[in-house]
Structure 1
Amino acid sequence: MLPVTIAGLAALGVAAIGGTITDLGPWYEGLNKPDWNPPRAAFPIAWTTIFALAVIAFVSAWRKSPSTKVSDTLIGLFAANAFLNIVWSLIFFRLQRPDWAFFELILLWVSILAVIIYCWRLSRFASLLLLPYLVWVTIAGALNWEIVQLNGPFG
């Protein structure tokens, strides 16, 4: 029960911090966006689903960890990913630097892939649960790139 509680609280914390940092005010609304930009309502639905799946994936992989070293590595990978997730929002929305955020998003994408690969050894189910996260961040990366192309230079 403890891993479920900790993972759930961590996901809520990341979501709360990211939500607090995300400002969809005049600056963001004033950006030119591609025609395929997802509707505003898609974002909270997608992120809620992704965080819920990530909690289930973490718990599934953690329970199959054969040693403390493996579970500690798993925790570290998820924590690094959470940090990168928050930093992207900070760079994009607070610093208003989509150009820098795009390059940080590449690190975020690689961290998701690393978690998926690491989890695969422990729980294929966990890895599969993380695929929507990778897909969503891939879409976010394409959107971020298009925003840079349509609105740059920044700073």
Structure 2
Amino acid sequence: MNPTPFPRRAALVGAVLILAIGSAIGLLTQTGAGSWYQSLIRPDATPPSWVFGVVWPILYILIGAAGGIVWSVRQHPARRRALFWFVLQLALNFAWTPVFFGLEQIALGLGVILALNVAAIVATIRMGRVSPLAARLMLPYLVWIGYAAVLNFRIWQLNPALPTFA
């Protein structure tokens, strides 16, 4: 029995597409000096701003490649459900930045990122049924968004005077 060949093209297209979308959303949202975010009380565990610019492109490449791999496995019975959860978690990922930074809604952002964590875990499990490699590529992302959820929660705790909804 021949192993399924690695779907290089699908992984590459997925990685580039998700990297481009995620980067565009990030670039359209101001988080630097003079922004609302800089005025917040942040936990000591908040990494310096430059770390986000390094970590997110890597994560987008990994999750894009994972999605591309699952997409390319056309005949697998678990593919459709895995892609549903992948797209759902990706939509939540892309929604979090505009909600948290753009709308300046810490509590709503917390809700989005908690839903993102659940959807990403389910997506990773479902993707693992289609391709163990795809699931492994999602693992650094799961760690990072779990960390991001903790940071979002702590920012919400440390800034109680801010309005909950606009």
What TM-score do the two structures reach when normalised by structure 2? Answer: 0.81
What is the Cα deviation at residue 15 of structure 1?
2.6
Instruction: Check if 1:140 corresponds to 2:158.
Output: no
- The structure with the largest helix share of the pair is 1
Q: Which AA in structure 2 matches 1:147?
A: I
* Identity score, percent: 29
Q: Which AA in structure 1 matches 2:28?
A: T
14-23 or 124-133, which deviates more? 14-23
CA distance in 1, matches of 2:88, 2:29: 18
Instruction: Check if 1:128 corresponds to 2:128.
Output: no
Paired positions, count: 154
Within the candidate set 124, 132, 136, 1:116 is matched to 124
Deviations 1:100-151 (A, max 9, x none): 1111111111111111011110111110110111100011011111111111
- Find the residue that maps to 1:21 and give its secondary structure: coil
The match for 2:75 is 66
Instruction: Check if 1:96 corresponds to 2:104.
Output: yes
Q: Structure 1 92/146 Cα, relative in aligned 2: closer, same or farther at 3 Å?
A: same
CA distance in 1, matches of 2:84, 2:30: 25
CA distance in 2, matches of 1:21, 1:135: 23
Stretches of structure 2 that go unaligned for 5 or more consecutive residues are 1-8
What TM-score do the two structures reach when normalised by structure 1? Answer: 0.87
Q: Structure 1 71/15 Cα, relative in aligned 2: closer, same or farther at 3 Å?
A: farther
The match for 2:6 is none
The match for 1:34 is 43
Pair member with larger Rg: 2
